[in-house]
């Protein structure tokens, strides 16, 4: 039953992810990315992590991607042939090699994990797993330091963005 | 198993029938009639069948026929696939939100526990919020796919307005969560049995900020800069006609119902009647037997809930026909410089009060 939902979801995720990479127009890439994130949220639901799934939709699919779309529209990036600002990006050899190396490394690690893990008998999570209360408790007890560090990092990034934007306006 | 499935199906048909079949068409008529009353006109009384006008109610049917038979026009150079997809993305979330909206409490009927909500999610309130943020894409993609600069401007305004007011909306919701200690809409509703524990008294500032933010999310006057007909022709749906236009129209009206329902649950005691607890009503209905009394109680609660929802629909319409449109920079200023700090202060004060009580 779970596999019946998992495979279509995972298939859709992969298809959308491919769409992000191969699509010619930036807006199509962005829409594919949204589709991929929604599929990923579905996978989270399958893993009983409802809270994480909803956060995935609100933050990534809902907020960040709207900003992406806004920027794409603001810069008016068109598809192939109409605007070479977008296309010229993929001619950088150094970037291509580096990202290729990175992808190979990630893939190697994933294969490593798959080989090491035992997927035949996953332990059933407790009833409260993935609820808002449970995630909140863990976040504010066990992982409170990384959590606060991450929020400070975001704050710093925000202040940095404001400073950068302001110096241009002045 | 089969009984549960049947109950769920009945609930789904009830909700879809009520929103798409009743509220959406009737509200198009109500909007015209209310504007007519407020502007001292006669209004919506032309459509008739054999001279019989039914107060103009036939306009809803005439509208439907017009939308189904009008030419579906896709402008040259537009992205045909996305142009068709975006009204669907706009209308589905509007209906989907009702999956977690409880329209009554829990009742024991003939040994079965009937919970009047389609899906009682642990993250219910966040689900509403997530689905609302997905609806943004319908409007944003619509303008992009139309290959029209007015539409594109409308889309950009939509994107920035939705992002701005989603922040306020999310922070307002946090105040409510802190007070009731749950994200389940059913539990938030059930916690407001006592009149003085209604969200209206617990989060008075939250109520007004939530209403402002949700009207901005629905892009109705005074926040209708994305479609501003005197500036942008019709904004993101300039190039839409026929049924696709109808879907945008329907999404707006269904969203009004959704806003009414969420405000009712969070701030106005959901299905409860002030100073009249469910136990009191049950004791009055004692002569009907346990099942009969519960059934009547359930119907009363559903009626009370939708009466409140209808009140908030009326309220939104009154705002729409009273206020002029805000300027775009005023909308941004209100969102970021007034509502955002206020909602943060609201959370702080709520936290302090809860701490003091404990």
Contacts of B144 in chain A (CB under 8 A): 27, 69, 73
Answer whether A27 touches B (CB < 8 Å): yes
- In whole angstroms, how far apart are CA A152 and each of A102, A142, A160, B268, B340? 27, 18, 12, 37, 20
Nearest Cα to Cα of residue A36 among A56, A54, A21, A16: A16
Nearest Cα to Cα of residue A73 among B248, B74, B331, B143: B143
How far apart are the C-alpha atoms of A168 and A164, rounded to whole Å? 7
Answer whether A62 touches B (CB < 8 Å): yes
How far apart are the C-alpha atoms of B213 and B217, rounded to whole Å? 6
Q: Indicate the DSSP class of residue A20.
A: H
Answer whether B165 touches A (CB < 8 Å): no
How far apart are the C-alpha atoms of A34 and A31, rounded to whole Å? 5
Task: Test B121 with A50 for CB contact under 8 angstroms.
Answer: yes
Give residues with Cβ within 8 angstroms of B269, minimum separation 6.
B189, B192, B193, B195, B198, B199, B200, B308
Q: B86, B126, B174: best mutation site toward chain A, by most A Cβ within 10 Å?
A: B126
Contacts of A34 in chain B (CB under 8 A): 137
Residues B2, B3, B6, CA angle at the centre, nearest 5°? 85
Q: Which residue has the tokens 């709520």?
A: B350
How far apart are the C-alpha atoms of B329 and B344, rounded to whole Å? 22
B347 to chain A, closest Cα gap in Å: 17
> Of the candidates B123, B162, B166, which has its C-beta nearest A132's C-beta?
B123
In this structure, the answer to whether residues A49 and A100 fall within a common structural domain is no
Contacts of B159 in chain A (CB under 8 A): 66-67, 69-70, 73
B264 to chain A, closest Cα gap in Å: 23
Contacts of B130 in chain A (CB under 8 A): 54, 57-58, 61-62
In this structure, the answer to whether residues A97 and A156 fall within a common structural domain is no
- Report if residue A37 sits inside a domain: yes
Q: B82, B131, B140: best mutation site toward chain A, by most A Cβ within 10 Å?
A: B140
pLDDT, tens digit only, all 358 positions of chain B:
788 788 888 888 888 888 888 888 888 888 888 888 888 888 777 777 777 777 777 787 888 888 888 888 777 777 788 888 888 888 888 888 888 888 877 777 777 777 778 888 778 888 888 888 888 888 888 888 887 788 888 888 888 888 888 888 888 888 888 888 888 888 888 888 777 778 778 888 888 888 888 888 888 878 887 777 777 777 777 778 778 888 888 888 888 888 888 888 888 888 888 877 777 777 777 777 777 778 888 888 888 888 889 899 888 888 888 888 888 888 888 888 888 899 999 999 988 988 888 8
Nearest Cα to Cα of residue B139 among B208, B70, B232, B222: B232
Higher-confidence position of B255 and A121: B255
Give residues with Cβ within 8 angstroms of A40, minimum separation 6.
A13, A56
pLDDT at A149: 93
Q: A45, A131, A132: best mutation site toward chain B, by most B Cβ within 10 Å?
A: A132
If one counts the domains in chain A, the total is 3
Task: Test B122 with A55 for CB contact under 8 angstroms.
Answer: no
DSSP H helical ranges for A47-131: 50-55, 65-75, 84-87, 93-116
Structure tokens at B299: 């119907």
Answer whether A22 touches B (CB < 8 Å): no
Structure tokens at B96: 């989907």
Nearest Cα to Cα of residue B259 among B89, B158, B135: B135
pLDDT at A122: 61
In this structure, the answer to whether residues A100 and A134 fall within a common structural domain is no
Q: Which residue has the tokens 């992002």?
A: B163
Cβ distance B267 to B312 under 8 Å? no
DSSP string, B82-136: HHHHHHHHHHHHHHHGGGG--SS-EEEETTEEEESSS---TTHHHHHHHHHHHHH
Q: B92, B119, B131, B133: best mutation site toward chain A, by most A Cβ within 10 Å?
A: B133
- Report if residue A33 sits inside a domain: yes
Higher-confidence position of B199 and A84: B199
Nearest Cα to Cα of residue B296 among B282, B275, B280: B282
Answer whether A57 touches B (CB < 8 Å): yes
Task: Test B144 with A69 for CB contact under 8 angstroms.
Answer: yes
In this structure, the answer to whether residues A42 and A7 fall within a common structural domain is yes
Q: Indicate the DSSP class of residue A60.
A: I
pLDDT tens digits, one per residue of A13-27: 899 888 888 877 788
Closest-approach residue (CA) in chain B for A61: B134
Closest-approach residue (CA) in chain A for B165: A63
DSSP string, B253-310: HHHHHHHHHHHHHHHS-TTPBTTB-HHHHHHHTGGGHHHHHHHHHHHHHHHHHHHHHH
Does the pTM exceed 0.90? no
How far apart are the C-alpha atoms of B288 and B95, rounded to whole Å? 36
Task: Test A63 with B163 for CB contact under 8 angstroms.
Answer: yes
If pLDDT is split at 50, 70 and 90, which confidence band does A124 have? low
- In whole angstroms, how far apart are CA A106 and each of A17, A39, A119? 16, 21, 20
How far apart are the C-alpha atoms of B189 and B271, rounded to whole Å? 7
Answer whether A114 touches B (CB < 8 Å): no
Task: Test B156 with A73 for CB contact under 8 angstroms.
Answer: yes
Answer whether A138 touches B (CB < 8 Å): no
pLDDT at B336: 87
How many Cβ atoms from other residues are within 10 Å of residue B231's Cβ? 15
In this structure, the answer to whether residues A67 and A105 fall within a common structural domain is no
- Report if residue A87 sits inside a domain: no
How far apart are the C-alpha atoms of B153 and A73, rounded to whole Å? 9
> Of the candidates B127, B144, B183, which has its C-beta nearest A73's C-beta?
B144
Task: Test A66 with B162 for CB contact under 8 angstroms.
Answer: yes
Whether the CA torsion B209, B210, B213, B218 is positive or negative: it is negative
Whether the per-residue pLDDT at A81 is higher than 80: the answer is no
Element (H, E) at A122: none
A63 to chain B, closest Cα gap in Å: 7
How far apart are the C-alpha atoms of B99 and B227, rounded to whole Å? 28
- Give the least confident one: A33-47, A122-136, B197-211, B288-302: A122-136
How far apart are the C-alpha atoms of A1 and B293, rounded to whole Å? 40
* Burial (CB count <10 Å: 0-12, 13-18, 19+), residue B234: middle
Q: How many Cβ pairs within 8 Å bridge chains A and B?
A: 71
| Domain residue extents for chain B | 73-357
In this structure, the answer to whether residues A131 and A76 fall within a common structural domain is no
Contacts of B236 in chain A (CB under 8 A): none
If pLDDT is split at 50, 70 and 90, which confidence band does A155 have? very high
Phi-psi region of B43 (alpha: psi -120 to 50; beta: other; left: phi over 0): left
Expressed as residue numbers, the domain containing A42 is 1-82
How far apart are the C-alpha atoms of A39 and A156, rounded to whole Å? 31
- In whole angstroms, how far apart are CA A121 and each of A118, A125, B10, B23? 7, 12, 38, 49
Higher-confidence position of A157 and A126: A157
Closest-approach residue (CA) in chain B for A75: B156
Task: Test B140 with A69 for CB contact under 8 angstroms.
Answer: yes
How far apart are the C-alpha atoms of B323 and A152, rounded to whole Å? 41
Task: Test A55 with B126 for CB contact under 8 angstroms.
Answer: yes
Coil, helix or strand at residue A141: helix
Question: ipTM of this predicted complex?
Answer: 0.74
CATH number of the structural domain spanning residue A23? 1.20.120.1200
In this structure, the answer to whether residues A154 and A113 fall within a common structural domain is no
pLDDT at A91: 63
In this structure, the answer to whether residues A65 and A1 fall within a common structural domain is yes
């Amino acid at each position: 039953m779970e596999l019946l939902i998992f495979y279509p979801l995972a298939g859709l995720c992969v298809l959308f992810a491919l769409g992000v990479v191969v699509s010619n127009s930036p807006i199509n890439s962005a829409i594919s990315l949204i589709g991929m994130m929604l599929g990923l949220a579905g996978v989270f639901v399958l893993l009983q992590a409802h809270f994480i799934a909803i956060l995935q939709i609100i933050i990534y699919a809902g907020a960040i991607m709207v900003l992406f779309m806004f920027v794409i529209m603001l810069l008016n990036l068109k598809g192939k042939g109409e605007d070479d600002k977008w296309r010229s990006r993929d001619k950088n050899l150094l970037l291509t090699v580096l990202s290729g190396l990175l992808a190979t490394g990630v893939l190697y690690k994933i294969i490593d994990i798959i080989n090491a893990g035992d997927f035949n008998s996953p332990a059933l999570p407790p009833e409260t797993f993935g609820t808002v209360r449970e995630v909140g408790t863990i976040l504010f007890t066990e992982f409170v330091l990384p959590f606060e560090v991450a929020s400070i990092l975001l704050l710093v990034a925000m202040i940095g963005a404001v400073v950068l934007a302001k110096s241009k306006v002045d | 198993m089969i009984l549960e499935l049947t109950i769920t199906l009945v609930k789904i048909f009830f909700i879809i029938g009520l929103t798409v079949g009743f509220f959406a068409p009737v509200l198009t008529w109500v909007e015209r009639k209310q504007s007519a009353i407020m502007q001292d006109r006669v209004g919506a009384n032309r459509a008739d069948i054999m001279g019989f006008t039914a107060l103009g109610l036939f306009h809803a049917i005439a509208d439907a026929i017009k939308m189904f038979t009008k030419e579906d026009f896709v402008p040259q150079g537009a992205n045909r696939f996305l142009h068709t997809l975006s009204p669907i993305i706009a209308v589905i979330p509007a209906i989907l939100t009702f999956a977690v909206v409880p329209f009554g409490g829990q009742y024991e009927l003939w040994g079965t526990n009937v919970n009047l909500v389609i899906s009682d999610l642990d993250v219910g309130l966040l689900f509403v919020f997530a689905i609302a943020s997905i609806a943004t894409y319908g409007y944003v993609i619509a303008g992009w796919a139309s290959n029209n600069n007015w539409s594109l401007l409308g889309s950009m305004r939509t994107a920035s307005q939705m992002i701005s007011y989603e922040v306020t909306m999310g922070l307002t919701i946090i105040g409510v969560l802190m007070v009731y200690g749950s994200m389940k809409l059913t539990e938030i509703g059930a916690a407001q049995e006592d009149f003085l524990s209604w969200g209206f008294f617990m989060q008075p500032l939250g109520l007004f900020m939530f209403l402002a933010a949700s009207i901005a999310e629905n892009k109705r006057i005074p926040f209708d800069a994305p479609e501003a007909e005197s500036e942008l022709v019709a904004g993101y749906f300039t190039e839409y006609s026929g049924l696709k236009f109808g879907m945008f129209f329907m999404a707006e009206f269904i969203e009004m119902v959704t806003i009414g329902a969420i405000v009712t649950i969070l701030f106005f005691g959901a299905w409860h009647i002030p100073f009249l607890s469910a136990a009191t009503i049950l004791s009055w209905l004692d002569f009907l037997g346990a099942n009969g009394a519960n059934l009547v109680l359930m119907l009363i609660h559903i009626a009370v809930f939708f009466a409140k929802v209808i009140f908030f629909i009326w309220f939104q319409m009154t705002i729409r026909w009273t206020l002029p449109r805000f300027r775009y920079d005023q909308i941004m200023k209100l969102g970021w410089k007034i509502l955002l700090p206020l909602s943060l202060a609201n959370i702080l004060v709520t936290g302090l009060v809860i701490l003091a009580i404990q």
